[in-house]
Amino acid sequence: DTAVSQTPKYLVTQMGNDKSIKCEQNLGHDTMYWYKQDSKKFLKIMFSYNNKELIINETVPNRFSPKSPDKAHLNLHINSLELGDSAVYFCASSNDRGRTNGYTFGSGTRLTVV
């Protein structure tokens, strides 16, 4: 019974394509996040949504567009994919901004752009 689930787990696509990654949490958390882990293993925040509202939007190209249809879902759509977008993308969720029990992460989506 997965708490934070991301699909797909692996995604290989060509440059210029548009792709989406889906994320769902069944923990009843009020905040969801997207993190990117690059080749240097650096986990960097991209977006955060609290109750369907965008609260964090770090310096991310506007080719990346998050969508939160409800507080249990936060999807990531990427337009015109570039080689540099290759990374592992992690979805996470939390209550209390993670101050009590941290974030709960999904298992990641490994995106490879060729």
Q: Which residues bind other proteins (CB under 8 A)?
A: 4, 33, 35, 40-45, 48, 56, 90, 92, 97-99, 101-108
Tell me the two tokens of residue 54: 């965008």
Min CB(15)–other proteins separation in Å = 25
Min CB(36)–other proteins separation in Å = 11
**Cis omega before residue 8 (within 30°)?**
yes
Q: What residues have CB less than 8 Å from 48, skipping those under 6 apart?
A: 31, 32, 33, 34, 54, 55, 56
Q: Which is nearer to other proteins, 16 or 97 (CB)?
A: 97
Q: Which is nearer to other proteins, 51 or 101 (CB)?
A: 101
3-state helix, strand, coil in the chain (%, to 5): 5, 55, 40
Q: Which is nearer to other proteins, 25 or 81 (CB)?
A: 25
